[in-house]
Amino acid sequence: MDLNGKIAALLRDFAAIQPSKQKMWGYKRAARTVLALDEPIESLLQADGTLKKIPNIGPASTRIILEVLTTGTSPTIEAAISGSHQKPDIDRRGGLRAHFLSRAQVLEALRDATLGGPSRDEYRGDLQMHSTYSDGSQTLRDIIEAGIALGYEYNAVTDHSYGLPIAGGVSMERLAKQHREIDRLNAEFGRRFRLLKGIEANIRADGSVDMAPGELATLDIVVASPHSGLRTKDDQTRRMVRAVTTRGVHILGHPRGRKYGSRPGVTAKWKKVFAAAAESGVAIEIDGDPSRQDIDCDLARTAIDAGCLFALDSDAHSTRELAPYTDVAIAHARLAGVPSDRIINCWPLARLLRWADSRR
Ligand SMILES: [Zn+2]
């Protein structure tokens, strides 16, 4: 039982029914803090029945946490919600938190020697992240230096494509400029590190990607991801099958586009989508952004059975997100038991590039 996840969910629910913005933010911040704790929260309970002080968690949230630690739930929150007209919406959001891991669970999965799947040491490079060229805050040099510090051989910078202006999608002119900068940096770092030229292309409603084949061919790694149609229950199997059978696409990024407690993402017959991806050789991403965790360990088992390749990526927008977000992706892969040989991030650079070439 993951009490960190349970308490964070209760605090989020409680935040939703607060009359004041200030209280709402307070409970939300407490929820975020509990989800990000390295240790199970019960380990912070002291012999005198009080909780060790946690930064960003105020007295009201502490009382809720103690309630859950002593009774297993929070009568305060349950009573408040059952009397609220927002109960249906809160119940709906609660259903959108399945198979999300707290940070404490992620670290436990990385430590647990009984699990199969990849270890941190086998991980050679991260294949989805954003830079200052689109909506990220990290420069290309930051990405290289962070990769070297993490012991990686390569990273791919995958800014948004021009079809997604809302996320700062890069024009082809700006992409050419980025490629010149990447060439200069790769020449400077030589054999110490390789920054790959990537893009996160957008999957349109009809399943086509928003870049021309000739444009895709200028890139080392193409991630294609859905950023629309993420709240409808309509079946989108055809859209996703078309995306994973598009020549030049390497990775299906955050396949569902779900968000923690807020949207369910794409509805599709995933067995079919994964079978098509396995046949065409497109890797299925486990996106490690804690609010995405997409696909998760549960759906990953379906992708293993379909014979898929996997990409475990951070989807980081800043350097401080790189390592912890990758941990989330690795944890899901370990819980699902994805064999390391099927994870493209565990391949040496030469093998990765050979495979990427074969998809062009
Ligand atoms: Zn995306």
What would the pLDDT profile of 329-355 be if each residue is shown by its tens digit? 999 999 999 999 999 999 999 999 999
Measure the CA–CA gap between 58 and 322, rounded to whole angstroms. Answer: 29
At 314 the pLDDT is 98
Q: Cβ–Cβ contacts within 10 Å for residue 301, how many?
A: 15
Whether residue 166 is predicted with pLDDT greater than 90 in this model: the reply is: no
Ligand 1 center–CA 78 separation, angstroms: 35
Measure the CA–CA gap between 60 and 49, rounded to whole angstroms. Answer: 16
Whether residue 165 is predicted with pLDDT greater than 90 in this model: the reply is: no
Ligand 1 center–CA 244 separation, angstroms: 15
Q: Is the dihedral of CA 87, 92, 96, 98 positive or negative?
A: positive
At 168 the pLDDT is 85
Ligand 1 center–CA 59 separation, angstroms: 37
Whether residue 360 is predicted with pLDDT greater than 90 in this model: the reply is: no
Beta pairing partners, 257: none
Ligand 1 center–CA 226 separation, angstroms: 7
Ligand 1 center–CA 100 separation, angstroms: 18
At 167 the pLDDT is 82
At 55 the pLDDT is 94
Measure the CA–CA gap between 37 and 169, rounded to whole angstroms. Answer: 34
At 113 the pLDDT is 95
Task: Write the pLDDT tens digit of every residue in 5-48.
Answer: 999 999 999 999 999 999 999 999 999 999 999 999 999 999 99
At 181 the pLDDT is 98
At 237 the pLDDT is 98
Q: 3-state secondary structure string, the chain?
A: CCHHHHHHHHHHHHHHCCCCHHHHHHHHHHHHHHHCCCCCHHHHECCCCCECCCCCCCHHHHHHHHHHHHHCCCHHHHHHHHCCCCHHHHHHHHCCCCCCCCHHHHHHHHHCCCCCCCCHHHCCEECCECCCCCCCCCCHHHHHHHHHHCCCCEEEEEEEECCCHHHCCECHHHHHHHHHHHHHHHHHHHHHCEEEEEEEEEECCCCCECCCHHHHCCCCEEEEEECCCCCCCCECHHHHHHHHCCCCCCEECCCCCCECCCECCCECCHHHHHHHHHHHCCEEEEECCCCCCECCHHHHHHHHHCCCEEEEECCECCHHHHHHHHHHHHHHHHHHCCCHHHEHHHCCHHHHHHHHHHCC
Say if residues 270 and 264 touch (Cβ distance below 8 Å).
no
Ligand 1 center–CA 190 separation, angstroms: 30
Say if residues 257 and 236 touch (Cβ distance below 8 Å).
no
* 83: CB partners within 8 A, 6+ apart: none
At 56 the pLDDT is 94
Average pLDDT over residues 197-213: 97
Ligand 1 center–CA 213 separation, angstroms: 20
Closest of 3, 175, 152 to residue 72, by C-alpha: 3
Percent of the chain with pLDDT over 70: 100
Ligand 1 center–CA 159 separation, angstroms: 9
Ligand 1 center–CA 198 separation, angstroms: 13
Our measurement of the distance from residue 225's CA atom to the centroid of its chain's CA atoms, rounded to an integer in Å, reads 12
Ligand 1 center–CA 317 separation, angstroms: 11
Measure the CA–CA gap between 126 and 317, rounded to whole angstroms. Answer: 12
Task: Write the pLDDT tens digit of every residue in 276-318.
Answer: 999 999 999 999 999 999 999 999 999 999 999 999 999 999 9
Across the chain, what does the average pLDDT equal? Answer: 96
